[in-house]
Amino acid sequence: TPQYPVPFATRQMVEEEVAEMLKLEVKEKLASPYRSPLVLVKKPEGSYRVCIDFRRLNDILVPDAEPIPRIEDVFAEVGNKVYFSKLDLSKGYWEIPLANDLKKKTAFSPESVLYQFKYMPFGIKTESAVFTRLMRRVLAGIQGVQHYINH
């Protein structure tokens, strides 16, 4: 897949995001026949989010049929409760190791170096189902606890 150019004005921000992922050991350098383009998505307040365009990878991935909780069901379950707590697992996907055969398929390149994810990246079509399955296992047996994935 052709690489989209990173605008000069945002290169430092992209380099910082890549450096953070390397520090967190979310990804590693490699040589791969695969490459998904890096894209910048502008947030409502004007800053940018570094994303990988995994559309071509998603075309070849087998869907995961794990049921995803609906927000209406979560509200119905907790509607009569008195106390609430919310946890935001903002980088929770980066705690889920990828299967070795999938790692090289997550390759991307911000500039001249090719990287692959070691942990589940945002944007692959199985992410929500895999994360939901994991949360169900972790929270099983804890009464009154609900989880919901907000995209």
Convert the pLDDT of each residue in 41-99 to its tens digit.
888 998 888 889 999 999 999 999 898 888 898 888 888 888 888 888 878 888 899 99
Backbone angles phi, psi at 48, to 5 degrees: -115, 150
Q: Is the pLDDT of residue 151 over 70?
A: no
pLDDT for the residue numbered 125: 93
The answer to whether position 29 is within a domain reads: yes
| SS3 label, residue 42 | strand
Between CA 107 and CA 6 the distance in angstroms is 17
What's the pLDDT at 7?
A: 77
On whether residue 96 sits in a domain, the answer given is yes
Q: Is residue 147 part of a domain?
A: no
CATH number of the domain bearing residue 127: 3.10.10.10
Beta-strand ranges (E) seen in 3-151 are 27-29, 38-42, 48-52, 115-117
Q: Quick one: DSSP state of residue 60? A: H
Statement: residue 5 has pLDDT above 80 = no
More confident residue, 111 or 51: 51
3-state SS, residue 115: strand
Tell me, what amino acid is at 131? F
DSSP assignment letter at 61? S
The 10s digit of each residue's pLDDT in 127-146 is: 999 999 999 999 999 888 88
Sign of the Cα torsion 77, 83, 89, 92 reads negative
User: Which of 150, 124, 120, 128 has its CA nearest to residue 66?
Assistant: 128
Domain count, the chain: 1
Model confidence at 1: pLDDT above 70:
no
Residue 108 within any structural domain of the chain: yes
Confidence of residue 124 (pLDDT cuts 50, 70, 90): very high
- Residue 149 located in a structural domain: no
pTM of the full structure: 0.77
Domain range spanning residue 126?
Answer: 8-139
